[in-house]
Structure 1
Amino acid sequence: MPHSSDDEHRPRDRRRRRTSHHEQERRHRRGHRATDSQGTLLPRPSQRPNDSDRDTPSPRKKRHSTSTPNESSQGSRSRGSAPLSLDALAKLDKQNARKTGWGGYDYDEDYLKEVRRKEKGLERERVRAEKQERRRATKEKSKEEAARRRAYESESVMEEAKLKREKKRQERTEREKRRAVTDDEREERRRRYETKYTPSERAERRERRKEEKRHRTEEKRRRVVSGPLAEEGGVDDGYEYQYMMEKRGGAGSEPSEYTEEELARKKKWKRILIGILAFLIVLAIIIPVAVLMSKKNNGANVQSVAASNSEKPANSNLQDISEDDIPPSAKGTILDPFSWYDTLDFNVTYTDATVGGLPIMGLNSTWDDDVQANEHVPNLRDKFEYGKMPIRGINVGGWLNLEPFITPSFFESFKGSVIDEYTLCTKLGASKCKESLEKHYSSFVTKQTFVDIRNAGFDHVRIPFGYWIVTTYEGDPYVAQVSWRYLLRGIEYARQNGLRVNLDLHGAPGSQNGWNHSGRQGTIGWLNGTDGDLNAQRTIDIHGQLSQFFAQPRYRNIVTMYGIVNEPRMVDLDTDSVVQWTEKAISTIRKNNITGVLVFGDGFMGLDNWQGRLQEDDNLLLDVHQYVIFNVDQISLKHTDKLNFACRGWTAQSKRSMDKTTGFGPTMCGEWSQADTDCTQYINNVGIGTRWEGTMDTGNASTSILTPQCPVDNCSCDGANADPANYSNAYKKWLYQFAVAQMISFEYGWGWFYWTWETEKATQWSWKLGMQAGILPKKVWEREFDCPTKLDDFEEMGLPENY
């Protein structure tokens, strides 16, 4: 801050007050402002700069001024009424005092120590006041930021914020460009410099610059008597400075900032800090080893495809914001980007805005629907004519809710004690489960995944998720809401590739089927049991939130299919209750302006049994999941018979279901695979055997299958689980034809979604691995097979029926 106008009259006031020696001694010492090494008053520290002014030097840096007293005096004279420097005032006081016969104070060592002590105390007070002011400013700023962020209620506000950031980024880029010096300019300057000066002159200039730099460094380290001494006239042409230097380090010694006592104390603290650092290094070595050994002994080392990747994402976009931008109430929550494992392609600008109670944090405010997946389907901006053009889609199962057979690495180390996501999170605990699953969300399905899906010719993606993506309830161990952010990012990746999305609620509160992919294996607690009605209403409430969120304009062209609940096991539930609940769910979703296709499951009742039900909504789609391996009558068919069933049996089912006189009407196959056995690890739940070998012991006589179901004797899973590189040509041919036959059959309805895109090692369940093995088409519309009148006899071709 500048001097007040009263300072201009201080020399005259001082002379008036100094009337006698005794009166001078009675005068109390006044408080003083901080000065530089020459005694010149320093400007008062300003408030903490805004984030946008980070290039401005801090107030602390401004205190180390190198201006000289002469410069200050000359500046004062040039301005006329500007105040003299303290050094000049001190000299003027001494001259006036001597004219009146006073010789000035004779400062002894005790006095100097007292002055230094008080000076340090004043400096501490100044620093404390400065910190308090910064804290106050920070609190005020936090309050202002909180109020401003609460105003983020719409995407238009986010767009405005983005434009402002972009403008600042452009301005910063322009400043950097203006400051940048190209290589050619440097070379031109160097050439001019060498032309202007001889080698000896250049060497002399270099030495002079070095000397000036050394001198500046020394000047910064010097600490001349200042403050009260200068103000009271205690500095006399460097005499006091020399006196202090001799006391501190002896005559002729280099100026030191510290006394011998202070230096000894600093050395002592230095030794203590070195000892602490050495101790911490030892702990850093011992603790990880101990933890690793403990995990090894307990057998609880969870390793998945995601968790095994120890390289954390770069998260470079966090550099554009400050942790101070995150309100204290949001720190560590799902709204705090500094707590996220992965920030790639997320908008990390904080907002607590929600739609339907679901956060928009992480969403970028702009999107582009001018994308076409391939030449066989319309642009996202145009309408997809469902029922006239086939859906050729893929599931991304095992991503946002776990399935043991897709990612067995999550379950193998627990030796049967962990069987689903519920028991996994119970075993690991909240923190470890969040860490493991978020790594999995980040790496199992990525931006490249959707590029590869598009390149394979798909036009739709079905994304399964559990209800814990929205909320959790008392007693739930699931990782709440973290997967929500990855779902939204996945939808944007689908958009970038022209892929339409089918949302799929795969796990409902209480479990709608008791299978592991619902989140919790065991009892059905949805529309069943003590909390059946409660869990039914919870599911309606979740759809209330989801439907509000995805009714936003940004999702109208991309989320064109909305699943109500995956695979409700209606053969074990009251059929009428499930139908009534479905009607209520449809009403809730439509009321929130979801206009796309609503998808409901057949509940394993059989397609023909849906004729005449749920006919009120014209945009409703029946979803059937077709697998030969979970049916003892179909798994026991020989290869040629299975292929014939795919060509003709499923074709007939599709045609009957599409006809409203014999079936529901619009029908599609939401899941299928080319697996011809149930030999895949964990496909029948963790620790359960197979139908194929007759080892499926569920502990319940009514559901166990202890007789081999393969078509011939001596059943074995070795061939089915073999490396695809070792498949025979006959088996590869059969697998390819079996897949194509199913695609043909399901396209007699609205189309299909293959289950699934990727698995850790189950090739017959992964389109990605199947393409690599040569048992699936490179493009989904490429067909090197059609269902002929007569099929090949694969038994005669040498394909074993028992492996």
Structure 2
Amino acid sequence: MPRGSHSRTRSQDYHQDHHHHHRDGHYSNYERSRSRHPDQHRHRRGSVTAGETDLETDAKAYQHQRREQRRRRRSQGPTSDNEEGTLPPGQPLSAAALAKLNRENEIARMKEQRERRRREREEARIREREEARAREMEKERERARERGQERTRSRGRSRGGVASETRGAGWESEHERRKRDRQRERDRTRERSGRGYEPVRAAEEDGEEADEGRQQQQKYRENRRSKRVVSGVLMEEGKVGKPEKDENGYTGLRASWGTGSSILRIKQQAVQQAVTGEKLPWYKQKKKLLIYLAICFVLFLIVIIVGAAVIPRVGERKDSDKPTGNNNKPTGLDSISRDSIPADAPDWLNPFTWADTTDFNLTYTDETVGDLPVMGLFTTWDDSARANEHVPPLKDPWGDYGKRPARGVNLGGWLSLEPFITPSLFNYDRRLGIVDEYTLCQYLGERRCAETLEKHYATFVTEDTFREIAEAGLDHVRIPFSYWAVQTYDGEPYLFRTSWRYLLRGIEWCRKYGLRVNLDLHALPGSQNGWNHSGRLGAIGWLNGTNGELNAQRSLEIHDRLSKFFSQPRYHNIITHYGLANEPKMTKLDADRVIQWTEQAANLVRRNGISSSRTIIVFGDGFRGLHKWQGQLQNVDNAALDVHQYVIFNNDQIVLNHSAKVRFACESWTEQTLLSMDRSTGFGPTLVAEWSQADTDCAKHLTNVGWGNRWTGTYVSGDPALDATSPRCPTQDRRCSCELANAPPSRWSESYKKFLKMFAEAQMSSFEKGWGWWYWVWDTEDAYQWSYKKGLEAGVLPKKAYERDFDCDLSQIPSFSDLPEYY
């Protein structure tokens, strides 16, 4: 048995034995005694005071029982009764019996002491309550006397003059009488309180009632005076105003003017202010009241005027149910007539509803190709421009991409939103759950979504964008767009068709500056990867889930319409790459089913006129490993495998220090590219359509809105194989910080700028071992390491993409020992 169990058991046995003995022995004797002396027991029970408890009653009964036992022993003499505690007369008590008797006496004494202390505490509390009640009553009586005296003084001052003097003596005697009556009533109340009754404030109430009666009599006299006909003297003195109602809401005799009552009230108020020094509330001061009313009236007029000016602008819709979303009036609309646009024309065919009409053909037409509108396009085009002197003009074939690789950039975040590129579009309370284009438009609603997105389409990319791209020595542009530019489906909140005309205009601006186009269907129905840039973050619904096959068929229908449209002669020279699906997540999908769909889509596109001699069909590697594509899709003519290379999305690569990252780009990625380009070890033609020089994943919303990052060890994706719950910067400790990693270029050291440029040029050199590269992206709002434009401005990218200082000579890679490895 554990330590302490014996003592607990013995204590429990003692209490059980004692309880049994009490019930079987003493309690039975007590009952016999009670039956023989009922009157005596009733007398003791009836004499218990209010403070006694059941415990005291039991103790007294027990003592009585003991006395009865001793009395019987004396009267009966020796007995054979073996009850405990019964001994023959004259026989001394045993040691055990004596100890037990002492314990019982001690228990009784302690109970009596506890009861006495309890009664004393209770009496003290009662005395304290009575004293507090008496003090409170005295304070209340004092306050009542003071109020009565104040009213008396106020009435005496208001009467004033001779009348006050003649009535003073009688009034004082009456006041003294009432005061004595109230004092007698208070004395009676105090007597009742002393006898245990709850005190009643009769005297005070009587005094208050008397005061109320006097006030009513005073009001009655004032009302009578107010109902008198205005005297000529008052009229002559100019003291007559508009009719006033009395206290009961009635005007005086013959609609009397009430001037007497008004003057009396003014006098009384003046006397009260003079005596008490109190100020009237603002609503009783006529001047202040008028000022406040005037201010309220002016504010009301301002609200009405502003509302009249703003509300028509917000609700103004003359030609469509949707606003333009831009406060600037589109240009060029003077050249067309509103009557030339049918009344039932949808928004995408009605230039008067467009936010921007720059470089659009505004002549109305409902002509379509592949069931897609040509509205906005001019009928002629010119393919004579070229991006720079190192590439051919658009009208001439590009040649072998293996010998002349593409050097391009992505217009990411423009027609397919991505939160880290334009975080201002997702600047909402996190609890609203706005994390992608789907939830953004769902929250904004149709009208506000149209306003917000069209303004973004019109301003984020302009003609200057394409001019600057060409000036940077780039020759290709990859334009990501989403399927809702072509079609939307029931229940989807996406903005339908608006991005389509901006895509067409973007292609025409590429033509103007000799830039070739890589069409990238970035988002497919159902989402091909479940990432935010596919339109909707979450589950993959393409070739997966309940509607997986339905969405795969819808994707083929999208390509059917797109390929028919872009097979027109005007696109033969400019569209050099046609992407089927951006980043299908083949690590979560059935790889064989994805390959089957890719072959179906490629054959469909070719049948619709996308020529194999002019246009490369591009499909993604699906992150399954480049070597696994060896021997796949070899029957697709002029196709290229698209791989996206980043060190920061890999837990094993992000920990590399600065010099190791440069070396990795030169060695590992060059090796991967060469192996993939060899059909015996890989698919064959390979291009890198996405990469960046970012060395951390610290950019805001890069890993998703509100998510953490690998750099600081706060990245939790739900997939344990991908999570990073400990810092993954090169030092891999708590020094890892995103503060300096997200700093603007003005805070970058010269050594850090040297690293960024060398890292970028190492990747360019590596990827040009394949069919070329496209930097991700051209511009961002504040993710500086992801913007080609901002990198040019900061001097961390070559001024011309075809003129570089570093070409992966490993001997030129410095240690970068002066750079911290934790920011």
Task: Report TM bin, short chain.
Answer: 0.5 to 0.7
The structure 1 residue matched to 2:760, chosen from 736, 739, 751, is 739
Q: Distance in 2 between matches of 1:404 and 1:429?
A: 19
Q: Distance in 2 between matches of 1:468 and 1:741?
A: 37
For residue 374 of structure 2, what is the amino acid of its counterpart? I
C-alpha spacing 1:328/1:291, structure 2 compared with 1 (3 Å): closer
- Are positions 1:474 and 2:490 aligned together? yes
Deviation digits for residues 307-354 of structure 1 (CA, Å, limit 9, x no counterpart) = 9x9974443311111111111221x52111111111111011111110
Larger radius of gyration, structure 1 or 2?
A: 2
Deviation digits for residues 224-256 of structure 1 (CA, Å, limit 9, x no counterpart) = xxxxxxxxxxxxxxxxxxxxxxxxxxxxxxxxx
The structure 2 residue matched to 1:534, chosen from 536, 542, 550, is 550
The structure 2 residue matched to 1:686, chosen from 705, 710, 724, is 705
Deviation of the 1:777 alpha carbon: 1.0
User: Which stretches in structure 1 are left out of the alignment for 5+ residues?
Assistant: 1-277, 293-306
Q: Distance in 1 between matches of 2:444 and 2:301?
A: 28
User: Secondary structure of the equivalent of 1:799?
Assistant: coil
C-alpha spacing 1:544/1:321, structure 2 compared with 1 (3 Å): same
For residue 789 of structure 1, what is the amino acid of its counterpart? L
C-alpha spacing 1:708/1:565, structure 2 compared with 1 (3 Å): same
Q: Decide whether the 8 Å contact of 1:644 with 1:791 is kept in 2.
A: no
Q: Decide whether the 8 Å contact of 2:599 with 2:636 is kept in 1.
A: no
User: Which stretches in structure 2 are left out of the alignment for 5+ residues?
Assistant: 1-298, 314-322
What does residue range 197-236 of structure 1 map to in structure 2 within 5 Å? none
Q: What's the counterpart of residue 365 of structure 2?
A: 351
C-alpha spacing 1:311/1:487, structure 2 compared with 1 (3 Å): closer
User: Secondary structure of the equivalent of 1:708?
Assistant: coil
Q: What's the counterpart of residue 326 of structure 1?
A: 341
Deviation digits for residues 117-146 of structure 1 (CA, Å, limit 9, x no counterpart) = xxxxxxxxxxxxxxxxxxxxxxxxxxxxxx
Count the aligned residue pairs.
Answer: 509
Q: Distance in 1 between matches of 2:547 and 2:619?
A: 23
Q: Distance in 1 between matches of 2:308 and 2:482?
A: 36
What does residue range 393-792 of structure 1 map to in structure 2 within 5 Å? 393-415=408-430, 417-595=433-611, 596-698=615-717, 701=720, 703-712=722-731, 713=733, 714-792=735-813
For residue 717 of structure 2, what is the amino acid of its counterpart? T
C-alpha spacing 1:283/1:594, structure 2 compared with 1 (3 Å): farther
Q: Decide whether the 8 Å contact of 1:635 with 1:692 is kept in 2.
A: yes
Mean Cα deviation higher: 313-322 or 697-706: 697-706
Q: Distance in 1 between matches of 2:326 and 2:341?
A: 26
User: Secondary structure of the equivalent of 1:790?
Assistant: helix
C-alpha spacing 1:372/1:707, structure 2 compared with 1 (3 Å): same
Q: Distance in 1 between matches of 2:424 and 2:358?
A: 25
User: Secondary structure of the equivalent of 2:339?
Assistant: helix
- Are positions 1:801 and 2:788 aligned together? no
Q: What's the counterpart of residue 389 of structure 2?
A: 375
For residue 529 of structure 1, what is the amino acid of its counterpart? G
Q: Decide whether the 8 Å contact of 1:640 with 1:791 is kept in 2.
A: no
What does residue range 18-167 of structure 1 map to in structure 2 within 5 Å? none
Q: Distance in 1 between matches of 2:606 and 2:464?
A: 34
Q: What's the counterpart of residue 349 of structure 2?
A: 335
Q: What's the counterpart of residue 197 of structure 1?
A: none
Mean Cα deviation higher: 281-290 or 442-451: 281-290
User: Secondary structure of the equivalent of 1:334?
Assistant: helix
Q: What's the counterpart of residue 176 of structure 1?
A: none
Q: Decide whether the 8 Å contact of 2:663 with 2:810 is kept in 1.
A: no
Deviation digits for residues 431-474 of structure 1 (CA, Å, limit 9, x no counterpart) = 10001100100010001110000101110000001100001000
Deviation digits for residues 356-404 of structure 1 (CA, Å, limit 9, x no counterpart) = 0000011111110011110110010100012221100110000001000
Deviation of the 1:792 alpha carbon: 3.3
The structure 1 residue matched to 2:403, chosen from 384, 388, 413, is 388
Deviation digits for residues 711-754 of structure 1 (CA, Å, limit 9, x no counterpart) = 11221112211121111111110000000000000000001000
Q: Distance in 2 between matches of 1:482 and 1:281?
A: 38
Q: Distance in 2 between matches of 1:789 and 1:372?
A: 34
Deviation of the 1:544 alpha carbon: 0.1
Q: Decide whether the 8 Å contact of 1:462 with 1:504 is kept in 2.
A: yes
Q: Distance in 1 between matches of 2:544 and 2:675?
A: 32
Q: Decide whether the 8 Å contact of 2:617 with 2:640 is kept in 1.
A: yes
Q: Give TM-score scaled by structure 2 length.
A: 0.60
User: Secondary structure of the equivalent of 1:635?
Assistant: coil
Q: Distance in 2 between matches of 1:310 and 1:577?
A: 42
- Are positions 1:317 and 2:355 aligned together? no
For residue 714 of structure 2, what is the amino acid of its counterpart? T
Q: Distance in 1 between matches of 2:618 and 2:410?
A: 15
Deviation of the 1:789 alpha carbon: 3.3
User: Secondary structure of the equivalent of 2:687?
Assistant: strand
Deviation digits for residues 253-304 of structure 1 (CA, Å, limit 9, x no counterpart) = xxxxxxxxxxxxxxxxxxxxxxxxx999854514789999xxxxxxxxxxxx
Deviation of the 1:786 alpha carbon: 2.3
Q: Decide whether the 8 Å contact of 1:560 with 1:597 is kept in 2.
A: yes
Deviation of the 1:785 alpha carbon: 1.5
Q: Decide whether the 8 Å contact of 1:795 with 1:801 is kept in 2.
A: no
Q: Decide whether the 8 Å contact of 1:632 with 1:709 is kept in 2.
A: yes
Deviation digits for residues 163-202 of structure 1 (CA, Å, limit 9, x no counterpart) = xxxxxxxxxxxxxxxxxxxxxxxxxxxxxxxxxxxxxxxx
User: Secondary structure of the equivalent of 2:520?
Assistant: strand
Deviation of the 1:704 alpha carbon: 3.1
For residue 440 of structure 2, what is the amino acid of its counterpart? L
What does residue range 235-254 of structure 1 map to in structure 2 within 5 Å? none
Q: Decide whether the 8 Å contact of 2:325 with 2:454 is kept in 1.
A: no
Q: Decide whether the 8 Å contact of 1:611 with 1:662 is kept in 2.
A: yes
Q: What's the counterpart of residue 73 of structure 1?
A: none
C-alpha spacing 1:291/1:759, structure 2 compared with 1 (3 Å): farther
Q: Give TM-score scaled by structure 1 length.
A: 0.62
Deviation of the 1:790 alpha carbon: 2.4
Q: Decide whether the 8 Å contact of 1:730 with 1:794 is kept in 2.
A: no
Q: Distance in 2 between matches of 1:776 and 1:795?
A: 18
For residue 543 of structure 1, what is the amino acid of its counterpart? H
For residue 761 of structure 1, what is the amino acid of its counterpart? D
Deviation of the 1:699 alpha carbon: 5.0
C-alpha spacing 1:565/1:700, structure 2 compared with 1 (3 Å): closer
Q: Distance in 2 between matches of 1:734 and 1:653?
A: 23
User: Secondary structure of the equivalent of 1:764?
Assistant: helix
After superposition, the CA RMSD in angstroms is 2.1
Q: What's the counterpart of residue 134 of structure 2?
A: none
Q: Distance in 1 between matches of 2:757 and 2:551?
A: 42
For residue 563 of structure 1, what is the amino acid of its counterpart? G
For residue 691 of structure 1, what is the amino acid of its counterpart? R
C-alpha spacing 1:489/1:593, structure 2 compared with 1 (3 Å): same
Q: Distance in 2 between matches of 1:472 and 1:288?
A: 36
Deviation of the 1:794 alpha carbon: 3.1
For residue 706 of structure 1, what is the amino acid of its counterpart? T
Deviation digits for residues 671-695 of structure 1 (CA, Å, limit 9, x no counterpart) = 0000001001011000100101001
What does residue range 360-371 of structure 1 map to in structure 2 within 5 Å? 360-371=374-385
Identity in percent? 59
For residue 658 of structure 2, what is the amino acid of its counterpart? H
Q: Distance in 1 between matches of 2:791 and 2:517?
A: 23
